Amino acid sequence: MEEGKISWGIAPIGWRNDDIPEIGAENTLQHLLSDIVVAGFQGTEVGGFFPEPKVLNKELELRNLKIAGQWFSSFLIRDGVEEVSKAFHKHCEYLQEVHGDVAVVSEQTYSIQGLNSNVFSEKPYFTDEEWVKLCRGLNELGKIAKQYNLKLVYHHHMGTGIQTIEEVDRLMESTDSNYVHLLYDTGHIYVSDGDYISLLHKHMDRIKHVHFKDVRKDVMDQCKKSGKSFLHSFLSGMFTVPGDGCIDFVKVYKQLLDTNYQGWIVIEAEQDPSVAHPLEYALMARKYIDEKLIQKEGNRLVRN
């Protein structure tokens, strides 16, 4: 990533979803990457179906695309830092080989994000001892990431122990800012707290990676009312690309520019690809970015 710039990416999640690997399984890596070029993005994140670094790098180079980062499910509370570190070293090695910038970490101990539980009312909570174990563990993982020239960015997520603004506040207070950074995901914090601006204001200095995920409020309300799981909520269309839901990305983007954010903004809108055509939605996102965000901000902007 170039110094002083915002890079725009789009995640594979609109084409294929690691949380439900069956959906979109017909979309190959080559198809996904070529769609990303057609839609005018500079890069993507690593999906669970991505190949070994040599093969991936070849496909990326052919299309002049970059890797922003990759998700890592940590089980620090369940397994302890020693065990988790082994898998995290491998994760970072892979990311280094594909020239990624961030390791996206989410603590999955007690997570209900992949279960058939009500994601709006059954999230887990950590005890004080578990908080200590988690935060110490994250500091250690952050040090490992640094050895590979990566930043550990923590992903707050629906259905997990770090979901709400209060929980993000506590995580930021209890971890070392040299090693643990924050991923700001507009969709997750909005569905959790009904507010996506406070987190941005409070933790701008820690935010080193951004996911732009929009929310269809009517669908969210319906999913909440019927007590749907996380997976069934997104399959019902709770999430979409920026400009197609209720989040004001102009406000968010302005704040990012005002505070001189440097790094990736990755469009991440999980939907069922058989319902929401992935390239069509990627193009919609790009149009919205160009017309409502970049043009609006004029020459303050930052697109390669």
Ligand X SMILES: O=C1C[C@@H](O)[C@H](O)[C@@H](O)C1=O
Which residues partner with 84 through β-bridges?
none
Q: How far is CA 53 from the centre of its chain?
A: 21
Radius of gyration of the chain (CA): 18
Which residue of 16, 181, 209, 211 would you call a contact of Co ion, by CB under 5 A? 211
Tokens read off for 190: 């909005």
Q: Is 19 in the site for ligand X (CB under 6 A)?
A: yes
107 near ligand X, rule: CB under 6 A: no
214 makes contact with ligand X (CB under 6 A): no
Minimum distance from residue 161 beta carbon to ligand X (Å): 15
Give the Cα separation of 288 and 78 in Å (integer).
42
**Could you tell me the smallest distance in angstroms from the CB atom of residue 132 to ligand X?**
26
Give 167 or 270: the residue with its C-beta nearer to ligand X: 270
> Per the structure block, which two tokens stand in for 151?
């930043």
Q: Does residue 205 contact residue 178 with C-beta atoms inside 8 Å?
A: no
Which stretch, 69-77, 114-122, 211-219, 288-296, contacts Co ion (CB under 5 A)? 211-219
Strands 214-215 and 239-240, how do they pair? Answer: antiparallel
In degrees rounded to 5, what are phi and psi of residue 161?
Answer: -75, -15
> Residue 101 binds which entry of ligand X, Co ion, none, with Cβ cut-offs from 5 to 8 Å by kind?
none
Say whether residue 185 binds ligand X (CB under 6 A): yes
The reply on whether position 185 binds Co ion by CB under 5 A is: yes
* One of 71, 88, 184, 249 touching ligand X (CB under 6 A): 71
Binding mask 257-296 for ligand X (x = CB under 6 A): -----------x-x--------------------------
Ramachandran bin of 97, using left for φ above 0, alpha for ψ from -120 to 50, beta for the remaining angles: alpha
For residues 268-295, b (16+ Cβ closer than 10 Å) or e, as one string? bbbbebeebebbebbbbbbebbeebbbe
Nearest approach in angstroms of CB 268 to ligand X is: 6
Largest Cα span, the chain: 49
Q: In the complex with Co ion, which residue's Cβ is closer, 35 or 185?
A: 185
| Segment interacting with Co ion, rule: CB under 5 A, options 58-66, 79-87, 264-272, 294-302 | 264-272
Question: Which residues in this chain contact Co ion in the complex, by CB under 5 A?
Answer: 185, 211, 268
Question: Which residues in this chain contact ligand X in the complex, by CB under 6 A?
Answer: 18-19, 71, 113, 155, 185, 188, 211, 268, 270
